[in-house]
Chains A and B, each alone.
Chain A
């Protein structure tokens, strides 16, 4: 008979995640009595910073929200502002934004797989320890991450908080020579990307069979990145403007980031949700590679998020090269903007999942109000649900250290970006 014991585990600072959070777990009589992913970073109030600022400032301002996914913030913001002010973009801008986004997925996914997640699966405390036993794996990850950074810098001027994006397009178009050099590097990187996917598919991951809702963008033809409808595997299919009618954010006492629910249920956003909903949009060879390895999609194992990231890297290295194949500098890298009052909505796929923005602007193009819903706050309730199921599956009678490690592994598999999530503070004032 399994011993039933009380367990109390506190992980006061989660390692290898972006930002600062904690995990609290209390088990009594063999049941989880309390489980909380606690996010205690102070709220950053970014939406309020944006009020009153002109549309020209917004892409650079929102890029400051996150050092890992600045492109995502820029792309959701410009999409919303373009809708608000009736700005149309041409095919060159649409394609190059997708390339720009490929750079961000590549650097973020490569960072997460190699420096944050892989040590969990290979039994190391850190990437430094892992590098001694698996130097070629780490070097490959660093090469892919550097390529992603340079792809961001090609359009953004720099990889950290890039400054190249604007409403209507880009401030500057890369030269044909710079793009040709990048295309060569992308083609050369395809072998690294293929080898990474093979490694990920062979990696033993814990079994898990969970019934969760996947939410992501879906595009009629493409693997969705910066365009598409918001869909779920339970039949949701809406435009970005309908987000607030279906998704509800709520405050919980243990987090400075809001939790989000879809029709009052937790849901998953991010690479695995995207792959679950969009795997038919991947190139055939890549789909066959996943199938041949025995990956059944949609997957109900959240630990397959690492494979999803590796599959997306394999996809985007080829996708960026394809989109740059016939590159030519455009007459103008951005559409003209004539400010007008309006409301706009933008939803794009950040590396960690759906990132939704809403802006109301006045007739001078200044922001009157803003709302941002980042992927990590959307995943919070799902992470807590996953933790419950994963820890119960592991066995609550396991040693504390094993429970702690599995808990951290679950959280890290979502790659939470806690600093992004703490945007919001609801202040209730009661006056008597």
Chain B
């Protein structure tokens, strides 16, 4: 079983790619090679996110957020869902997906990291660097 799944969410293009960049930096890090942690990206998965979360004891979701105060920050679920993902056409966005997972009793413990987008939708360099610092600090704590 994967103890910790770290999943970057978003489009592979444009500013929304910022979570992909963060994950790519960690995929070849000592955290990835230590075992017990998985690092992956997911292109706007919708309900398929639940499949990605299955089997994990704990998960960290990383996504771009709009209108945030900090370049990178940990969020409560409602604020994260509101800032990170517009509703899909089927009205099954991140918030609904997490609600569905909770209704099924299938959600692992969740931590949510938001990386701020610029007003023009691009990813600012500060957000990626700040997000990386927060994430590495958290991974160190979790790996004891």
Q: Is the CB of A138 within 8 A of B104?
A: yes
Q: Is the CB of B48 within 8 A of A135?
A: no
For the complex, is A31 an interface residue (Cβ under 8 Å from B)?
A: no
What are 26 inter-chain pairs, A to B, with CB distance below 8 A? A18-B89, A20-B89, A67-B44, A67-B89, A116-B90, A126-B96, A127-B92, A128-B96, A128-B100, A128-B103, A131-B103, A131-B104, A132-B103, A135-B104, A135-B105, A138-B100, A139-B104, A139-B106, A142-B48, A145-B48, A146-B48, A146-B51, A159-B48, A160-B44, A161-B43, A419-B89
Contact with B along A115-136 (1 / 0, CB 8 A): 1100000000011110110010
Chain B nearest CB: distance from A414 CB in Å? Answer: 14
For the complex, is A149 an interface residue (Cβ under 8 Å from B)?
A: yes
For the complex, is B143 an interface residue (Cβ under 8 Å from A)?
A: no
Q: Which B positions have Cβ atoms within 8 angstroms of A?
A: 12, 43-44, 47-48, 50-51, 88-92, 96, 99-100, 103-106
For the complex, is A317 an interface residue (Cβ under 8 Å from B)?
A: no
Q: Is the CB of B91 within 8 A of A15?
A: yes
In whole angstroms, what is the CA distance A161 to B44 when docked?
11
Chain B nearest CB: distance from A419 CB in Å? Answer: 6
Q: Is the CB of B100 within 8 A of A131?
A: yes
Chain B minimum-CB-distance residue to A20: B89
Q: Is the CB of A16 within 8 A of B90?
A: yes
Other A-B contacts than A16-B90, A17-B90, 14 sampled, CB-CB below 8 A, are A15-B91, A17-B89, A19-B89, A67-B89, A115-B92, A128-B96, A128-B100, A131-B103, A138-B104, A142-B47, A145-B47, A145-B48, A160-B43, A161-B43
Q: Is the CB of A149 within 8 A of B48?
A: yes
Chain B nearest CB: distance from A133 CB in Å? Answer: 9
Chain A minimum-CB-distance residue to B102: A128
Residues of B within 8 A of A15 (CB): 91
For the complex, is A111 an interface residue (Cβ under 8 Å from B)?
A: yes
In whole angstroms, what is the CA distance A135 to B104 when docked?
6
For the complex, is A158 an interface residue (Cβ under 8 Å from B)?
A: yes
Residues of A within 8 A of B96 (CB): 126, 128
In whole angstroms, what is the CA distance A418 to B90 when docked?
11
Residues of B within 8 A of A149 (CB): 48
Which residue of A67, A145, A159 contacts B88 across the interface (Cβ within 8 Å)?
A67
Q: Is the CB of A158 within 8 A of B90?
A: no
In whole angstroms, what is the CA distance A19 to B92 when docked?
12
For the complex, is A143 an interface residue (Cβ under 8 Å from B)?
A: yes
In whole angstroms, what is the CA distance A14 to B58 when docked?
36
Q: Is the CB of B90 within 8 A of A18?
A: yes
Chain A nearest CB: distance from B45 CB in Å? Answer: 8
Which residue of A16, A127, A131, A142 contacts B51 across the interface (Cβ within 8 Å)?
A142
Contact with B along A203-228 (1 / 0, CB 8 A): 00000000000000000000000000
